[in-house]
Amino acid sequence: MKVVKIAVLTFVAISFVALAGAYTIQTDNKGAPQLTLNGGTNGPVPFPHMAHQKALGDCALCHQLFPQKVGGIDELKASGELQKKQVMNKHCTKCHKQMKNEGKKTGPTTCKACHVKS
């Protein structure tokens, strides 16, 4: 009887460790720490992806609209699902301005502060 209890407890412990490991593997890959977004004629936009993850905590705040793949925003614009300046005006700068108004540390709120002309 004692052997059965030990076997069951061992199985439960191993299962817990395996599930915890699988959960960690799935949640650790949060994408590239730094991205460069297509900024159109105003130049590319360096995007500190990891800084946004730390500041926001909830990936869905951005990724409910923007797909998690390279060129995803450009594809949405090309298909008409996103307007040309919708990303910046209705999402990026809107969020930055809101955080600034709340007295929180935030990113730039003007076009030229993000877009880098070559």
The residue ranges of every structural domain in the chain are 1-30, 32-114
Output the pLDDT for position 50: 93
**What's the token pair of residue 31?**
């994408």
CA distance 12 to 20: 12
pLDDT at site 51: 92
Which regions in the chain score pLDDT beneath 50? 7-9, 11-12, 22-26
| pLDDT given at position 3 | 59
CA–CA gap between residue 89 and residue 110 (Å, rounded): 10
The reported pLDDT for the residue numbered 117 is 81
The predicted structure's pLDDT at residue 67: 87
Q: Distance between CA atoms of 12 and 114, rounded to whole angstroms?
A: 51
Question: If you count them, how many residues does the chain have?
Answer: 118
Give me the architecture of the 32-114 domain, per CATH: Alpha-Beta Complex (3.90)
Please tell me the predicted confidence (pLDDT) of residue 46.
93
pLDDT at 25: 43
- At which residue do the structure tokens 């998690």 appear? 68
Asked if residue 49 lies in contact with residue 32, where contact means CB atoms within 8 angstroms, the answer is yes
pLDDT of residue 87: 86
